[in-house]
Amino acid sequence: MEIIQYSEEHRMFRESVRKYLEKEVIPHVKEWEEAGIVPRSAWKKLGDQGFLCMDVPEEYGGLGADFLYSVIMTEEMTRTNHSGLATGLHSDIVVPYITSFGSEEIKKKYLPGCISGDIITAVAMTEPNTGSDLASIKTTAVEDGNEVVINGQKTFISNGINCGIVIVAARDPAIDSPYNAIDLYVVEEGTAGFEKGKQIKKIGWHSQDTAELFFTDCRVSAGNRLGAKGSGFLHLMRKLQQERLVCAIGAVAAAEFMLEITIQYCKERTAFGRPISKFQNTQFEIVEMATEAKIGRTFLDKLIVDHMEGKNIALDVSMAKYWTTDMACRTADRCLQLHGGYGYCEEYPIARAWRDIRVTRIFAGTNEIMKGIAAKFMGL
């Protein structure tokens, strides 16, 4: 019996997404990789198809769909073998902050555009000297009447160039406790004092517009705060469960995709008069990778069900995030090796897959941080 019970509607949705991506996204990936960014029009087209923010309630223009639609979208986007259209980040990590913690005014103002693709979102937590330690952020937010003045710098911000709004984590310097000082603010593109810096050149994720963001006396309405004052750190902790789960979904889907294209390659590539899939070493490598992918899939699917049931799985998703991304990186390296010299050539998809998967062990909290979190939950 399958752990996840997909309905016929879910299966039809997956088929429609896959067909759309094969026609409208995959043919453009090389172009976007070379350009270093995906055009906003590609996001708008996804919105036109109803593929963005599907869980947003109908009253704000969404479908009110269950999390399985997000799972399907993440898995199918992973199969496009590129990172520029970061729909999982937009729909399942950033926008839920607005849906869950935004005022009615904020929801009505921004959610329709997020759903339609007219607004692309980003979340700005990481700073030059602050990565996984969110309590140590230096960006400040000082109240001035009905406004808040934000000053600071953020880095490694995905969707940083394309974003129409960014959710900024900042602290009130008048409050000593970092856990009570942090708040989240919605800042619009074009706001005075908000500047998008250079796009960061990376060894992978070439089509992802990762950037530095600068805030210099940037004034926003106090109404742009998400939730009650001092609640930002708690909001971040509440949403990290889903963020890390989305990372694990992408990692397992990536491992399955890499294994699929490698098996096909090994069946077609010959050496010494026979397909290399017939050599014992190749078979052992593939079987071992397939076993790990199945273990990851089983663990992941159970967590998806638990998450949809509202269970607290902070310990398990920390374990899943580190293990699945480690596993996907192992798979990438072994698959590239089976491709031989061709695996190191850009024309073969395994090259990009190998290059892109590495960062998954770093973002959303490094895998070392994940192990530390798990250790604390285990009382170590």
Q: What are the residue numbers of the active site?
A: 243
Extended beta strands in the chain, E state:
121-124, 140-144, 147-157, 165-171, 182-188, 194-199, 211-221, 270-271, 274-275
- Cα 20 from chain centre: 20
Give the DSSP H or E segment for 70. helix 67-78
CA dist 378 and 374 (Å) reads: 6
DSSP string, 9-29: HHHHHHHHHHHHHHHHTGGGH
Beta bridge partners of 144: 147
Strands 147-157 and 211-221: antiparallel
CB 121 within 8 A of CB 159: yes
Q: What residues have CB less than 8 Å from 339, skipping those under 6 apart?
A: 262, 265, 348, 350
